[in-house]
Structure 1
Amino acid sequence: MTPAQATGTVPVWDRPVRALHWALAGGTTATWLTGQWWHDSHEWLGYGVALVIALRLAWGWLGSAPARFAHFVRGPRATWSYARAVAAGRAARHLGHNPLGGWMVLALLGCAAGTASTGILYTTDWLWGFDWLHRLHQALAWCMVGLVTLHVAGVMFTSWQHRESLVAAMVHGRKRAAAADDVPA
């Protein structure tokens, strides 16, 4: 009997994906919390977040099959179809990211990259003190708050809808084995 058969679970997210996910979540939170008062810490945490983003982007092209963006980012038609199925209460369960979740990964990484980039640019002699850059950095940080809120709401809703903890799956990397009507990873 295989481990999957014994536990009724299958591997979904590998260690690098999970580690980078939690590093980005923790780094983003810490960077947000230090933004107004602890500028040195904020700056170094921002560099750390930028490194995590770079590593996740690399792993999204070079990593294991389920970690690759091509594996879980669907086209607009499939994504819109899935969104309609969610609204109708009949969305199929996905072993990996569902189509909306795949696009949320890109939105979060893009917004985090934009926030980190504007923060880094603000520390350069070239762009130090430019108000428009500071405002853009703040706007992207608030956009990140909105995206994280949507992400957490989507995780909670999908966990409830399919009766499984996606948070636990992002910790240990496993989900219950596919049923006949599930969509493969």
Structure 2
Amino acid sequence: MNAGAVTESQRVWDPLVRVFHWSLVTCVLLNLFVIDDDEALHQWLGYAASAWVGVRVLWGFVGPRHARFADFFPTPARLARHVRALLRGEPEHHWGHNPLGGLMVLGLMAMVLCLGLTGWMQTTDTFWGVNWVEELHEGLADWLLPMVGLHAAAAWVMGRIERTRLVKAMVTGTKERY
């Protein structure tokens, strides 16, 4: 059999999940380039990113199967089983997020919400000019890009290990195994 031939495929990521993902990518990338040039745009991109995370959190409870947190919530047992299988060289197959991917999704969403909160706090009378809020916001921003890089690299590596086309699935909605 051809090593690149698709052996199975399944519709996994619904349109809302994909639009959320790529909208969040866009907000983060644009903020990377506009932070020093346009503070108002930076703020609106942060609010948009936070709003998208809010929509995604709601969708995590009412959306289709693979969008729901219950499908991929990274419990200690799920994480341990997944990591043991990887270490044995027998990776588990997950049509939705695997437990490590679920951990990353939740971590990234929490970070974006914390960035939005600390950014908004800096615009209020109570926290205007408060050093720890600005430092926390900047520290979170400094960690966001490495986490995004890790997320992208992990999607590529895990796609190879699990023999799935993860990046393509986030574009098309269909996850393919080969």
TM-score by length of 1: 0.86
Partner of 2:4: none
Partner of 1:38: 38
Partner of 1:3: none
- The DSSP-based 3-state class of the residue aligned with 1:36 is coil
Partner of 1:27: 27
Give the letter for the 1:24 counterpart. L
Count of aligned positions: 172
- Answer whether contact 1:32 1:141 (CA < 8 A) is retained: no
Give the letter for the 1:145 counterpart. L
Q: Distance in 2 between matches of 1:89 and 1:56?
A: 33
Partner of 1:118: 118
- The DSSP-based 3-state class of the residue aligned with 1:129 is coil
Query: Structure 1 segments of 4 or more deviating over 4 A?
Result: none
Partner of 2:145: 145
* CA displacement at 1:85 relative to structure 2: 2.4
Q: Distance in 2 between matches of 1:88 and 1:141?
A: 36
Worse-matched range after superposition: 113-122 or 78-87: 78-87
* CA displacement at 1:57 relative to structure 2: 0.7
Q: Distance in 1 between matches of 2:134 and 2:11?
A: 42
- The DSSP-based 3-state class of the residue aligned with 1:124 is coil
Q: Distance in 1 between matches of 2:132 and 2:42?
A: 19
Q: Distance in 2 between matches of 1:32 and 1:85?
A: 37
* CA displacement at 1:80 relative to structure 2: 2.0
Worse-matched range after superposition: 86-95 or 128-137: 86-95
Q: Distance in 2 between matches of 1:93 and 1:65?
A: 16
Identity of aligned pairs, percent? 37
- Answer whether contact 2:159 2:165 (CA < 8 A) is retained: yes
Q: Distance in 1 between matches of 2:72 and 2:78?
A: 11
Worse-matched range after superposition: 28-37 or 100-109: 28-37
Worse-matched range after superposition: 131-140 or 163-172: 163-172
Query: Structure 2 regions of 5+ residues with no counterpart?
Result: 1-6
TM-score by length of 2: 0.89
Q: Distance in 1 between matches of 2:145 and 2:87?
A: 24
- Answer whether contact 2:118 2:137 (CA < 8 A) is retained: yes
